[in-house]
Amino acid sequence: MRGRYIKIFFVFLLIIFIGLSYLNDYKTGKDTGDAFFHVLVEMLKILPFAFILIGLFEVWIEKETVIKHLGTNSGMKGYLWVFILAGFSVGGLYVAFPLAETLYKKGASLKVIFAFLGFAGIIRIPMTIFEISFLGLPFTIVRLMVTIPLFLLIGIFLGSILEKRGFKFNIK
């Protein structure tokens, strides 16, 4: 409970800082306020719809289906599924973490979940197209050839260690 009050206190301090910055024409504070407002607006454009889709996923997709395709016995098929899911996701990690929680509750393997979180940060199709337009196709191909196997191995490694230790997330 105490941590919650501390978070509220710091948000209150941020708001005061931004407000005083506008009153006193303090450039750094105004830039902080502008950036905060920009990120807030972008999140409000994406998150409500993403959370509705995650809620529908929780209701419509059976636990057995998730276990079959993303569970501990799914093999490489599970990694392929989360690769595709991450590629078509929007909202980046704002959406990936709640979706990963849903997958975990429905019985997905920790290895597959960690791979999904890594893939969600690197292979979203809209982000990749944006990257190609600014940095070029050769750069994007090299980046994907390095990061995809790397995040796959990291997911397998982290998931294996935690599963061997019997780790369980405390999700309500």
The torsion angle over the Cα atoms of residues 37, 39, 43 and 44, rounded to 10 degrees, is: 20
Assess contact for 90 and 54: CB atoms under 8 A: no
Helix axes 63-70, 76-88, angle to 10 degrees: 110
**Residues 153, 86 within the same domain:** yes
pLDDT in tens, 85-131: 999 887 778 888 989 999 999 999 999 999 999 999 899 888 899 89
Alpha carbon separation from 56 to 45, 46, 50, 53 (Å, rounded): 18, 16, 10, 5
pLDDT in tens, 53-93: 888 988 898 999 899 999 888 889 999 999 999 998 877 78
Higher pLDDT, 170 or 17: 17
Number of domains forming the structure of the chain = 2
**Residues 77, 48 within the same domain:** no
- What whole-number distance in Å separates Cα of residue 82 and Cα of residue 53? 16
**Residues 27, 106 within the same domain:** no
**Residues 76, 52 within the same domain:** no
**Residues 80, 152 within the same domain:** yes
Assess contact for 156 and 134: CB atoms under 8 A: no
- What whole-number distance in Å separates Cα of residue 145 and Cα of residue 80? 15
Last residue of a domain, one of 13, 31, 60: 60
**Residues 158, 120 within the same domain:** yes
Q: Which two tokens stand for residue 160?
A: 């294996």
Domain span at residue 52 reads 1-60
**Residues 87, 8 within the same domain:** no
Q: Tell whether the model's pLDDT for residue 172 goes beyond 70.
A: no
**Residues 4, 47 within the same domain:** yes
**Residues 129, 65 within the same domain:** yes
**Residues 170, 150 within the same domain:** yes
Task: Please report the pLDDT score of residue 114 as a whole number.
Answer: 95
Last residue of a domain, one of 37, 60, 83: 60
Task: Please report the pLDDT score of residue 1 as a whole number.
Answer: 63
Last residue of a domain, one of 60, 90, 109: 60
CB atoms within 10 A of CB 86: 22
**Residues 71, 87 within the same domain:** yes
Assess contact for 135 and 86: CB atoms under 8 A: no
**Residues 66, 56 within the same domain:** no
